[in-house]
Amino acid sequence: MSDAGTGRDGTAWDARLSEPGSPECTPDWLALREPADAAARASRLVDQLLPHLPPGRLVVRDLGCGSGSMGRWLAGRLPGEQQHWVLHDRDPGLLEIAAAGLPPGVTAETSAGDVTDLDAAALAGTSLVTASALLDLLTAEELAGLAAACAQAGCAALLTLSVVGSVSFTPADLLDEAFAAAFDAHQRRTVAGRRLLGPDAPAAAVTEFRRHGAQVATASSPWRLGPGEAALAEEWLRGWISAACEERPELAAEAGAYLGRRLAAAAVGELHVVVGHADLLALPSGGTA
């Protein structure tokens, strides 16, 4: 499917990120967003986590690990010299990249498959479940299953960078609100009978983990994209516009001019974007977040 088109003013535009799985799962996209992800994650939740980790060998399961950015960010912040990471993803190619990118001394194994199939038995012996940019891609039932599995296995969970449905631009544009609303609706779409949580995921996760007795802490973790992140802002913006137009096809007539205004502002260093995310720490019953 091509997302190239022409607006009502004759301006051509091309979302570029229109292949199945884009932009979330391509190595180039994951590499482009990794510095922004690292800057956004709430390190204070890691500080709250540390006293509750068991002594000795740590077993960390990274769900939907992609190319392994979470491991590269988190492993050095965890205690001890005995860390074993179990990397879960559907893409064997990404699993290879993730395993190769972990810091020296950290051992790893890979597991190709659907992370929503994991249950308490699969998590037995796990010290920490972690994920990045995953919760908004789950259904309510899948999120409930994850919370129940962590609670039954008695392991902590650190789940970062879930979208919250908040985007702000400087300079503002009259069409910002329309595209943002359409994008949020797209994030809540039904895919193959699965209704995704999208920006409802952070609040739903708090409810589900607390339902199982976990102590939960949350923190804001927005991307802050300015002139130094212009390449990421452009790729994100193209995908964001594409998703909005898929949800509301009538927006395609305005997409070319809208994208053009945004890229023109970026070209002169004036575009700033704040993309809202939330991080969550859930400690099993008996812990204090």
CATH number at residue 174: 3.40.50.150
Q: Are strands 272-283 and 215-220 parallel, antiparallel or unpaired?
A: antiparallel
| Largest Cα span, the chain | 63
Burial class from Cβ neighbours inside 10 Å (0-12, 13-18, 19+) for residue 199 reads: buried
Q: Does residue 229 sit within a domain?
A: yes
Asked whether residue 288 is assigned to any structural domain, the reply reads: no
**CA dist., res. 133 & res. 34, Å (int):** 11
Number of folded domains that form the chain: 1
C-alpha 18/C-alpha 16 separation (Å) is: 6
In contact, 66 and 98? CB cutoff 8 Å: yes
Interval 10-19: pLDDT, tens = 455 454 433 3
Token readout for 94 is: 């990404």
Residue 133 structural domain: 5-283
- Domain assignment present for residue 224? The answer is yes
In a domain, 289, yes or no: no
Cβ–Cβ under 8 Å, residues 271 and 169 = yes
195 belongs to a structural domain: yes
In tens, the pLDDT along 36-50 reads 999 999 999 999 999
Q: Residue 153: inside a domain, yes or no? A: yes
Percent of the chain with pLDDT over 90: 87
Q: Quick one: which of 183, 182, 170, 178 has its CA closest to 261?
A: 170
State residue 286's pLDDT score.
66
Name the least confident of 2-16, 130-144, 182-196, 208-222: 2-16
Tens of pLDDT, residues 95-124: 999 999 999 999 999 999 999 999 999 999
Q: Is the pLDDT of residue 9 over 90?
A: no
Residue 242, both tokens = 């594409």
Q: Does residue 165 lie within any of the structural domains?
A: yes
Element (H, E) at 47: helix 43-49
Domain annotation covers residue 66:
yes
Matching residue, tokens 């010299």: 81
Inter-CA distances, 153 with 95, 107, 115, Å: 24, 22, 16
Helices (H) and strands (E) in the chain, counts: 9, 12
- What number is the average pLDDT over the span 18-32? 65
* Pick from 106, 208, 67: nearest CA to 147: 208
pTM of structure: 0.91
